[in-house]
């Protein structure tokens, strides 16, 4: 599993004077010039895992490959600067495919004032794999880490969750501007983007912060597509199940002190809703509470790459 590999790397990698934040957060932070630290993130997307090239316009694939990385910069409250793109293209139709991937990326890059700086283009006998690396810069507020949540902090989220497989996983808007606005205007303690699933990503954030989290399941904002998917599938999974576990919502999950959270909720400064869905607690793990305040464990579910 990916988390095992991160644990291995954290143990194995020597400290480095330039590395302010290494493996295990949404992006790494490199010490650069004063006030100009450099944020780096990479995501590799592959056919049949992150998209189905037989069914999807390759421009949407290119757009997604960039968007998931922008979402990682958003999770760090970093300003996008530049990106490089590496692709392994199937031999047949490779040039046309490469152009379509870039055509999907470029409007989103321009929207976020990101320079496409270069890349590496290869052909091979395998299916499409596309890797995007983004470089951003921290603002004067510093990077937003996963490890800053404090006991008593509220869990705030942007937007709504679940059912992204119906389309949002390809066409979502990474919350870059939202993260920068929130980081500028409010004191955020920690943040992560919901890529693998609301519950599992919240659990990651809590774990990195050395605490646990209670989710108020009644408060979780459920996407229309989560309801639609539950109805379509009719497999006993509720819309809430989808919201907690589906993954690829690419919304922000934030840890904010209770009084600051009140202010944010009252002001609602974004064009998407901000919702409080729980709080951070001393007890490790993920929890839900009933009306009487009794806690029971909540499974942290979501997408994980499984290796033999």
Contacting a second copy (CB under 8 A), which of 107, 126, 167, 269? 126
Count how many residues are written for the chain. 308
Q: Which of the stretches 30-38, 156-164, 220-228, 243-251 binds a second copy when contact is defined by CB under 8 A? A: 30-38
| Structure letter (DSSP) for residue 14 | P
Contacting a second copy (CB under 8 A), which of 11, 36, 266, 290? 36
Residue number with CB closer to a second copy (121 or 139): 121
Q: How far is CA 109 from CA 96, 127, 142, 173, in A?
A: 20, 25, 23, 12
Instruction: Please give the Cα distance from 193 to 28 (Å, whole number).
Output: 15
Q: Which of the stretches 44-52, 54-62, 239-247, 266-274 binds a second copy when contact is defined by CB under 8 A? A: 44-52
Q: Which of the stretches 92-100, 160-168, 204-212, 275-283 binds a second copy when contact is defined by CB under 8 A? A: 92-100
Residue 250 CA from chain centroid, whole number? 5
16 binding a second copy? (CB under 8 A): yes
CB of 81 to a second copy, least distance (A): 5
**Percent of the chain as helix, strand, coil, to the nearest 5:** 35, 30, 40
139 binding a second copy? (CB under 8 A): no
18 binding a second copy? (CB under 8 A): yes
Q: Which of the stretches 41-49, 183-191, 244-252, 289-297 binds a second copy when contact is defined by CB under 8 A? A: 41-49
Contacting a second copy (CB under 8 A), which of 7, 52, 56, 93? 93
CB of 305 to a second copy, least distance (A): 4
Contacting a second copy (CB under 8 A), which of 28, 176, 220, 298? 28
76 binding a second copy? (CB under 8 A): no
Instruction: Please give the Cα distance from 164 to 263 (Å, whole number).
Output: 29
Residue number with CB closer to a second copy (106 or 217): 106
Alpha helices per DSSP H over the chain = 2-12, 58-75, 94-111, 168-171, 176-185, 198-208, 224-233, 239-245, 258-267
Q: Tokens representing 254?
A: 């934030």
Number of residues that bind a second copy (CB under 8 A): 73
Angle subtended at Cα 250 by Cα 35 and Cα 205, rounded to the nearest 5 degrees: 65
Contact 79, 148 (CB under 8 A): no
184 binding a second copy? (CB under 8 A): no
299 binding a second copy? (CB under 8 A): no
142 binding a second copy? (CB under 8 A): no
Instruction: Please give the Cα distance from 65 to 78 (Å, whole number).
Output: 18
CB of 65 to a second copy, least distance (A): 11
DSSP secondary structure string, 84-114? EEEEEEESTTHHHHHHHHHHHHHHHHHHTT-
Contact 253, 199 (CB under 8 A): no
42 binding a second copy? (CB under 8 A): yes
């Amino acid at each position: 599993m990916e988390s095992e590999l991160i644990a291995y790397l954290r143990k194995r990698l020597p400290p480095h004077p330039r590395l302010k934040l290494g493996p295990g957060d949404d992006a790494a932070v490199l010490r650069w010039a004063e006030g100009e630290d450099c944020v780096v993130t990479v995501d590799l997307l592959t056919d049949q895992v992150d998209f189905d090239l037989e069914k999807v316009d390759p421009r949407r694939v290119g757009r997604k490959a960039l968007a998931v990385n922008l979402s990682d910069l958003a999770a760090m409250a970093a300003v996008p600067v530049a990106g490089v793109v590496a692709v392994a293209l199937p031999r047949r139709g490779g040039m046309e495919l490469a152009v379509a991937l870039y055509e999907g990326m470029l409007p989103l890059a321009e929207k976020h004032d990101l320079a496409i700086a270069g890349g590496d283009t290869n052909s091979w006998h395998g299916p499409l794999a596309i890797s995007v690396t983004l470089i951003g810069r921290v603002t004067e507020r510093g990077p937003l880490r996963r490890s800053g949540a404090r006991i008593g902090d509220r869990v705030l989220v942007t937007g709504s969750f679940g059912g992204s497989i119906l389309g949002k996983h390809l066409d979502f808007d990474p919350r870059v501007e939202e993260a920068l606005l929130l980081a500028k205007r409010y004191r955020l303690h920690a943040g992560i983007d919901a890529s693998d699933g609301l519950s599992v990503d919240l659990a990651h954030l809590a774990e990195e912060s050395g605490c646990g989290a209670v989710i108020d399941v009644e408060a979780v904002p459920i996407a229309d597509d989560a309801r639609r998917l539950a109805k379509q599938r009719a497999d006993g999974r509720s819309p809430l199940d989808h919201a907690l576990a589906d993954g690829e919502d690419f919304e922000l999950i934030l840890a904010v002190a209770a009084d600051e959270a009140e202010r944010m909720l009252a002001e609602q400064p974004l064009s998407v809703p901000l919702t409080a869905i729980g709080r951070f607690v001393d007890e490790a793990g993920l929890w839900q509470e009933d009306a009487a305040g009794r806690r029971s464990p909540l499974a942290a579910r979501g997408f994980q790459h499984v290796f033999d």
